[in-house]
């Protein structure tokens, strides 16, 4: 019996492919920019003041999203409120609309309400819009952690003390990794977002990068500036790792993790009221604005928008779907081996690096690397867009899946190992069924992000091809407001229908998961 | 075996979806709004049988995504023809050595001021910078007639301009610097700032703020103003400084990318864009003013003959822009 040449072949192949196809272009771009550019600006105090301001704003948004996500996630996943299934899906809607369009809708809405833009044209507007856009991420992350909690722990707690103590002493500590993940993901999304700060006229570090890039065409300087953002994100992840290593990871019980729903009419009613209020504020108001704008002169704008977007549906959905499958696969492989090795692997760092690089810079890196005659088959085809999706979103899927794997007791796998069960069977029969809700959450988030990705795709989409978010945004300029709003509504409806379809397809599997855990 | 066949299938899919540049096609990158440029490109496709593969730009990136893409692709150009909404970006590309020269016979009657003397770019259909005002807030007889009027106390906090770091507003300010000289232009900018001019995110945003009555008036482009009129907004349009330095005329430009793969087809499209027919279509769709004489246009489209234009050299103004950009950045931020 010969020794295996590679200890973990699947991991190694995935890792090498990710590094070669995605990381090398970015590192190459950073190195060439550092060599060719004047880096003296790094000594300027102003740069760091602006960076500090961006960190502060991103922290506020991340904190608010995590708080709202915890409250709303708890109500949806732990309380038996009315229309629970509907609200679970409905609260995700802000994720389906581009932050830029949400900003426009909110500003218009404020104008109708208060007759002036002052309330929305400020830090308040920026924080409010981004918090509302990113809260669904927190709900999904925290919700999936809540549904993984062993009900026996809650039951035992409730025998000894009241619900409040159970929440504070048992549930919150159990979902601490998810809370931190939610904060970090929203923080990174917020700190790299440029279109909303530009729209609200708030000067942040990303708007500075955008200015260097789009007003001065100084690519090298923009790339080096974005390196500072990447460093901030890496420091954040580093501290998270350090912190989480001490966090109490409680596992799902050996019998299972079926989440116990609270069923008290008072709590149910209050929870329902909170959910509905948030639903009206964050979803009904902006969507109502879009509907009013769309139907201003009848339904002709909606018809026209549908005709314009129809040719983009098939390619966009297929691309997002293929991208999502690869993203979840990469996320699972990296998460599994990272958890098993009990340390932050270089794969984790690479995933973070690419996630933290601003979309435009990532796009430029891929152009500089792939735009060679020999690589034309990649650069001039949809493959380049898939590379963009996988690079941008694998970190999210890896984080979500890793959190879930950490909650699985190691004795389950150890027992299988003692029995001599193969890795593939171990994964298929033990691990994957136990982390199914998180895998599904990772799938849904990755799909939504891939379907709406604009920043990198706009730099890479092959000439002559039509992808939905690109078409919406290229048609936005100078198109009548009714057409722009109609397109946004169509994108939202399509995304929602697809997500509902995914939920329906997954329903039997998730039901089996719940039954198995009962 | 199954894995290999899957791999081959993927390669075939990518090959099918990739651009095969040996075909009868032309790759166009354009900063002109898709809603206006796409119909023209489709017509060319129908008339010539040459497939046009286009890359359009977005408002979100201030229409600089395409520019940045061309710069990044410089060493292995994918784009054959660049159709820009203004000469400024084209001149940036020319200065970076990205453009090839071509002089179309269809441009013979276009004035020299709208063409590069070496043929790096040629202008056609133009927009103008105008003042739009809300008719229910400003009486017709009281409308500002000069950019200098916008510094008057009565307009304090009631005038909007788009961020001068981007788009045609940059070019407008650079042209003002070119004509008035740095010192007077800086005084004007300082006075505007003292008068609490509202910095909007885009020309479209200026238009919306004027139409909604948030401000009395603002500087924008004729195409944005035209769209607002089509939507029934109660606004008026003024060509500023007709007794002084004139209004800025912003032509579209077309250029061929150096070392691109479909140069012959690109030249055919270049010629096509410079026809009177194209100018007539752009006059109808977005009220652009033809640079050829004798083009039939709708009534609401102003004629260049009736406007006193700013007497500028586009190349010089573009160079000037480079020098004042840091000043403008500071002006916006402080």
For residue B66, give the chain A residue with the closest CA.
A459
- Distances from the Cα of A77 to the Cαs of A56, A139, A171, A263, A444, in angstroms? 30, 9, 12, 12, 17
CA max distance for chain A: 79
Which CATH number is associated with domain B2-126+250-304?
A: 3.40.190.10
Residues, chain B, total? 334
pLDDT at A141 over 90: no
Instruction: For residue A302, tell me if it sits in a domain.
Output: yes
Structure confidence at residue A507 (pLDDT): 81
Distance, CA of B95 to CA of A247 (rounded, Å): 57
Per-residue pLDDT at A170: 81
CA of A109: how far to CAs of A240, A281, A287, in Å?
Answer: 38, 11, 10
Which element (helix H / strand E) includes A314?
Answer: helix A300-341
Nearest residue to A379 via CA among B232, B102, B73, B154: B73
Mean pLDDT, to the nearest integer, of A341-345? 80
pLDDT at A257 over 70: no
Q: Which CATH number fits domain B127-248+319-333: 1.10.150.20, 3.30.1360.40, 3.75.10.20, 3.40.190.10?
A: 3.40.190.10
Q: A415 is in which domain, residue-wise?
A: 9-34+57-517
Q: What are phi and psi of A238, to 5 degrees?
A: -60, -45
> In the prediction, which pLDDT does B234 show?
93
> ∠ CA A259-A265-A268 to the nearest 5 degrees?
55
Task: Please report which confidence band the pLDDT of residue A2 belongs to, taking 50, 70 and 90 as the band edges.
Answer: very low
Is the pLDDT at B14 greater than 70, yes or no? no
- Position A43 pLDDT exceeds 80: no
Q: In angstroms, what CA-CA distances link A268 with A71, A261, A317, B209? A: 13, 10, 37, 45
Closest among B178, B172, B321 to B239, alpha carbons compared: B172
What is the sign, positive or negative, of the torsion defined by CA atoms of A421, A424, A426, A429? negative
Q: Provide the mean pLDDT of chain A.
A: 84
Asked if B324 contacts B173 with a C-beta cutoff of 8 angstroms, the reply is yes
pLDDT reading at B286 higher than 80? yes
pLDDT at A250: 40
Q: What is the pLDDT of residue A252?
A: 42
Contact A465 B59 (CB under 8 A): no
Fold agreement between B2-126+250-304 and B127-248+319-333: yes
Q: A116: Cβ–Cβ under 8 A, 6 or more apart, which residues? A: A110, B214
Contact B76 A371 (CB under 8 A): yes
Question: Is A378 near chain B, with CB under 8 Å?
Answer: yes
Strand, coil or helix: B268: helix
Residue A103 located in a structural domain: yes
Domain ranges of chain B: 2-126+250-304, 127-248+319-333
What is the average per-residue pLDDT within B288-315? Answer: 92
B147 touches B236 (CB < 8 A):
no
Cα A399 from chain centroid? 10
With beta carbons under 8 A apart, name residues in chain A contacting B36: 478
pTM for this structure? 0.84
Residue A63 belongs to some domain of the structure? yes
Q: What is the DSSP string of B280-331?
A: HHHHHHH-PBPSSTT----TTSPPGGGS-B----HHHHHHHHHHHHHHHHHH
Got the DSSP string for B109-178?
A: TS-GGGB-TTSS-EEEEEEEEEEEEETTTS-GGG---SGGGGGSGGGTT-EEEE-TTSHHHHHHHHHHHH
In the structure encoding, which two tokens stand for residue A109, read together? 């809405």
Q: Report the pLDDT value the prediction gives residue A298, as an integer from 0 to 100.
A: 82
Least confident of A98-102, A414-418, B19-23, B272-276: B19-23
Among B14, B36, B57, select the one facing A383 at the smallest CB separation.
Answer: B14
Higher pLDDT, A356 or A242: A356
Give the C-alpha distances (Å, rounded to integers) separating A32 from A47, A205, A294: 21, 22, 47
ipTM surpasses 0.90: no
Nearest CA in chain B to A101: B60
The DSSP element (H or E) to which A29 belongs, if any, is helix A24-36
pLDDT band at B160 (very low <50, low <70, confident <90, very high): very high
Chain B neighbors of A372, CB-CB under 8 A: 76
Q: Say how many CB pairs under 8 Å bridge A and B.
A: 145
| Closest Cα in chain A to B333 | A203
Are the C-beta atoms of residues A394 and A443 closer than 8 Å to each other?
A: no
A27/B contact by beta carbon, under 8 A: no
Question: Sorting pLDDT into bands at 50, 70 and 90, what band is B26?
Answer: very high
Is A383 a domain residue? yes
Our measurement of the distance from residue B324's CA atom to the centroid of its chain's CA atoms, rounded to an integer in Å, reads 20
Q: Residue B126 to residues B184, B226, B301: CA-CA distances in angstroms? A: 28, 13, 11
Structural domain count of chain A: 1
Min mean pLDDT across A176-185, B13-22, B199-208 is at B13-22
């Amino acid at each position: 019996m010969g020794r295996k040449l590679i200890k973990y072949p699947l991991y190694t192949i995935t890792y090498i492919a990710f590094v070669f196809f995605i990381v090398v272009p970015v590192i190459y771009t950073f190195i060439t920019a550092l060599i060719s550019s004047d880096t003296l600006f790094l000594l300027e105090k102003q740069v760091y003041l602006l960076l500090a301001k961006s960190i502060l704003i991103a922290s506020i948004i991340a904190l608010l999203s995590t708080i709202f996500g915890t409250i709303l996630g708890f109500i949806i996943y732990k309380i038996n409120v009315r229309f629970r299934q509907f609200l679970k899906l409905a609260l995700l809607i802000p994720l389906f609309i581009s932050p830029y369009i949400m900003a426009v809708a909110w500003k218009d809405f404020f104008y109708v309400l208060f007759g002036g833009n002052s309330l929305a044209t400020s830090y308040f507007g920026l924080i409010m819009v981004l918090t509302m856009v990113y809260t669904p991420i927190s709900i999904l992350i925290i919700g999936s952690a809540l549904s993984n909690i062993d009900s026996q722990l809650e039951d035992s707690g409730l025998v000894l003390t009241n619900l409040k103590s159970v929440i504070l002493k048992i549930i919150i500590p159990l979902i601490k990794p998810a809370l931190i993940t939610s904060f970090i993901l929203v923080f990174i999304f917020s700190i790299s977002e440029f279109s909303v700060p530009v729209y609200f006229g708030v000067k942040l570090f990303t708007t500075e990068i955008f200015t260097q890039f789009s007003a001065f065409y100084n690519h090298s300087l923009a790339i080096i500036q974005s390196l500072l953002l990447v460093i901030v994100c890496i420091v954040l992840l580093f501290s998270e790792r350090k912190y989480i290593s001490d966090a109490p990871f409680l596992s799902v019980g050996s019998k299972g993790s079926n989440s116990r729903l609270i069923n008290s009419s008072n709590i149910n009613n209050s929870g329902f009221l909170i959910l509905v209020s948030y639903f009206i504020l964050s979803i009904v108001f902006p969507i109502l604005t879009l509907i009013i704008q769309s139907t201003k002169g009848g339904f002709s704008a909606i018809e026209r928008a549908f005709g314009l977007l129809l040719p983009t549906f098939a390619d966009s959905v297929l691309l997002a779907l293929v991208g999502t499958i690869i993203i979840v696969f990469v996320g699972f492989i990296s998460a599994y081996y990272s958890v098993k090795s009990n340390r932050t692997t270089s794969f984790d760092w690479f995933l973070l690096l690419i996630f933290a690089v601003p979309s435009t810079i990532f796009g430029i890196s891929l152009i500089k690397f792939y735009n060679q005659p020999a690589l034309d088959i990649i650069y001039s085809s949809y493959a380049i867009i898939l590379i963009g999706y996988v690079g941008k979103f694998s970190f999210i899927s890896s984080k979500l899946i890793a959190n879930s794997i950490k909650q699985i007791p190691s004795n389950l796998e150890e027992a299988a190992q003692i029995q001599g069960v193969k890795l593939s069977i171990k994964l298929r029969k033990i691990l994957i069924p136990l982390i199914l809700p998180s895998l599904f959450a990772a799938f849904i988030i990755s799909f939504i992000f891939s379907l709406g990705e604009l920043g990198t795709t706009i730099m890479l989409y092959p000439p002559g091809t039509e992808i939905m978010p690109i078409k919406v945004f290229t048609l936005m300029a100078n198109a009548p407001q009714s057409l722009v709003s109609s397109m946004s509504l169509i994108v939202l409806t399509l995304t929602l229908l697809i997500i509902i379809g995914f939920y329906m397809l997954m329903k039997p599997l998730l039901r089996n998961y719940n039954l198995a855990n009962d | 075996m199954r894995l290999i066949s899957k791999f081959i299938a993927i390669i075939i899919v990518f090959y099918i979806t990739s651009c095969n540049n040996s075909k009868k096609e032309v790759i166009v990158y354009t900063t002109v709004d898709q809603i206006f440029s796409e119909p023209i490109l489709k017509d060319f496709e129908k008339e010539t049988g040459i497939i046009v593969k286009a890359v359009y730009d977005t408002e979100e990136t201030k229409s600089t995504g395409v520019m940045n893409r061309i710069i990044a692709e410089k060493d292995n150009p994918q784009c054959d023809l660049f159709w820009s909404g203004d000469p400024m970006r084209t001149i940036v590309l020319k200065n970076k050595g990205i453009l090839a020269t071509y002089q179309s016979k269809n441009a013979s009657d276009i004035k020299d001021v709208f063409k590069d003397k070496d043929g790096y770019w040629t202008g056609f259909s133009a927009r103008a910078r105008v003042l739009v005002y809300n008719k229910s807030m400003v009486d017709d007889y009281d409308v500002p007639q000069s950019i200098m009027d916008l510094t008057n106390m009565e307009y304090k906090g009631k005038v909007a301009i788009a961020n001068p770091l981007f788009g045609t507003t940059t070019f407008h300010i650079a042209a003002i610097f070119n004509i008035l000289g740095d010192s007077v232009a800086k005084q004007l900018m300082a006075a505007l700032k003292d008068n609490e001019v509202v910095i909007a995110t885009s020309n479209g945003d200026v238009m919306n703020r004027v139409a909604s009555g948030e401000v009395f008036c603002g500087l924008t482009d004729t195409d944005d103003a035209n769209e607002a009129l089509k939507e029934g907004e109660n606004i008026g349009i003024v060509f500023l400084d007709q007794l002084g330095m004139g209004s800025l005329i912003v032509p579209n430009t077309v250029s061929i990318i150096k070392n691109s793969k479909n140069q012959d087809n690109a030249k055919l499209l270049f010629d096509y864009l410079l026809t009177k027919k194209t100018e007539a279509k752009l006059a109808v769709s977005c009220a652009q003013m033809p640079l050829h004489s004798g083009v039939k246009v709708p009534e609401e489209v102003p004629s260049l003959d009736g406007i006193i234009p700013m007497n500028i050299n586009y190349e010089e103004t573009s160079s000037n822009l480079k020098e004042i950009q840091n000043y403008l950045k500071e002006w916006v931020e402080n």
